[in-house]
Structure 1
Amino acid sequence: MPTFVWDYLPEYEAERADILDAVSTVFESGQLVLGPSVRGFEEEFAAYHGLPHCVGVDNGTNAIKLALQALGVGPGDEVITVSNTAAPTVVAIDSVGAVPVFVDVRREDFLMDTGQVAAAITPRTRALLPVHLYGQCVDMDPLTELAGRHGLKILEDCAQAHGARHRGRLAGTMGDAAAFSFYPTKVLGAYGDGGAVVTADEETERDLRRLRYYGMEERYYVTRTPGHNSRLDEVQAEILRRKLRRLEAYLEGRRAVARRYAEGLAGTGLTLPALAQGNDHVYYVYVVRHPRRDEVIEALKAHDISLNISYPWPVHTMSGFSGLGYAKGSLPVTEELAGEIFSLPMYPSLAPELQDTVIEALRKVLDRFN
């Protein structure tokens, strides 16, 4: 039987009764759009982060897009971020008419090199968009200092970092707003698309609610454009409410899988994930490095193991963003990592015996290259 990077079925079997009860609860409520389940999830997700406001939206991309708009980012503004992220981060910046400006990342942990941000700031810079990548946080203190000095907004991309902490602070609580995705593979995943924005600012929250609902503050009356139809689905919200109660168990499950990899793959020649100082990692994906990555992945297919690369193409190298003018070699560490990284199976319900199969196959394959 093939082994994949992610599989939701074991978790579904364990939680089936609760998931189906969540669906039934919504269908029997008489309210299918922006009803009690969305309101309940918003309150509970905000409370988890110790923040007053959460606005549920339809996906993580629109969480970033609407948050940028609510923070006043628009056409011609520059937003500083990284290129070694999922394309939706940059698609969202582009969709509000802003210009993404990339800085390189740190070789050891793949996170934004905050030491490069100051040099990237121009009079057009409006916001900083750190990506808490793979399950751990960017060092936010330098960004907070820069934002305060230059009058910039900070939007955290937390799509891969539910429950991660930096010096005791939860991802999503260190900027002006934070965008989350609940795509099924995420640490806190729905059974379809979903997203949310959390913030401590009341005006930002009010703008987000208007923006996700066509620009309306009351039914049928658009007060200000632009607006969107970007509402979190009631069924997904109720499922997320149930799963939020199990989030800490999911985190411990992921950390247990990571510990097993660290023990089983020590001394193999793989570069294993590095924990940045002050971070609590949640291991959304378990990303390793090898200089002969493509050969390793190909050899593992003979063992019926299919792995993923997150991400093989830095955004600045994609033809769809060629207009930004980044030449090959402009982000050397990002480009180097893209040729070496790959992800091992990672989800909290990954059976130890299945993980041992992956570890054993990897050790056999890597012996050939060492």
Structure 2
Amino acid sequence: MTRRLHAVLAAVLLASPGQAAALPAPPQPTRLAAPEPSWTAPLRARLEAADARYPGAIGVYVRHLGRDEAFSFRAEETWYLASGVKIPVAIAVMRAIERGELALDGRIRLLPEDFVDGAGQTNSHPAGTRLRIDYLLEQMIVYSDNTATDVLIRSVGLDRVNAVAGELLAADDLVITTLADVRRRAYASFHPGAASLGSADLLALRRAGSGTARVRKLADLLQVTTAEFLQPDLDGAFDAYYASNVNAAPLRDFGRMLAMLSDGLALAPEGTAYLLEVMSRVKTGDRRIKAGLPHGARFAHKTGTQHRRACDMGIVTMQGTGERVVVAACARGSLSLAASERALRDVGAAVTASGVLDRSTPVTRHWGPR
């Protein structure tokens, strides 16, 4: 028995390196997945309930910046951002200011082709008026002014806006257009001739009202009949436009841009503070996420609204603790803006109830010589 054991050992020791390498490797320890943060389960439950109540679908991305904890509810899907694209426009303008190419007190001349329908006060100024850049930024962010947006895009260049969006959202396929081109592309779903609609045409379409009245007005402007249209109604036209995925991105990626802005990675400190302060004065979202947040929470955000689409996206900063949480949400499908705003308010309430706003950033202790 001893001789046999010695023979086996000798055979192993004399084995070639190739034979030794063929021996099975020891099992590797199993790496356990990090547990989900405690606030995600109650948040998911409340969002599922809100989604069930809403006659459409909601998407939500939440990220606690101090703890780097994140949660997605359809946030990997592509969502139409509507006026959410005005944040990368603002960042592009602020970067031009940092480079010395523009100044907040500098002025830009309002051109006849700049006028677009929508909210804000820029359209009250006649063509030829020289408007301050800080005024245009405030109109664009606080009041979601489309004309102010297109003037600012013209001042920095659409290529730079798309470069900023591609960098901060880490999305190579994101395409942002002017607000006038949003309308041209949507109306071109009816007839390709709509791609050449001018500023006066776009304003006339808005004055015509909604539904069939607007469709008939478009036919008049294009000098065609509605029988020649490729889509039966505005629903069909906007569905075709949304399917092109311009001005759209995953909410997770948009949340990444908001996090970089809040962390001072998108702009220098002065520009960061300026833009976040302007975003904290938004007047278009009092019935959305903000309505569900606790008293005293500061919400620096931007809303977006279009046909069967509504969004609200920003950074919540808690009073006292200074904890920061990114919340980006959109609702799609309902023709009722009131229903979409209730769904976004429910998102704010769900975030509040989940406990994520009460989470504290871990304290890092630096041990040094006494």
Q: Same fold (TM over 0.5)?
A: no
Q: TM-score range by the shorter chain?
A: under 0.3
- Structure that is richer in helix per residue: 2
**What's the TM-score once normalised by structure 2's chain length?**
0.23
TM-score, length basis structure 1: 0.23
Structure number with greater Rg is 2
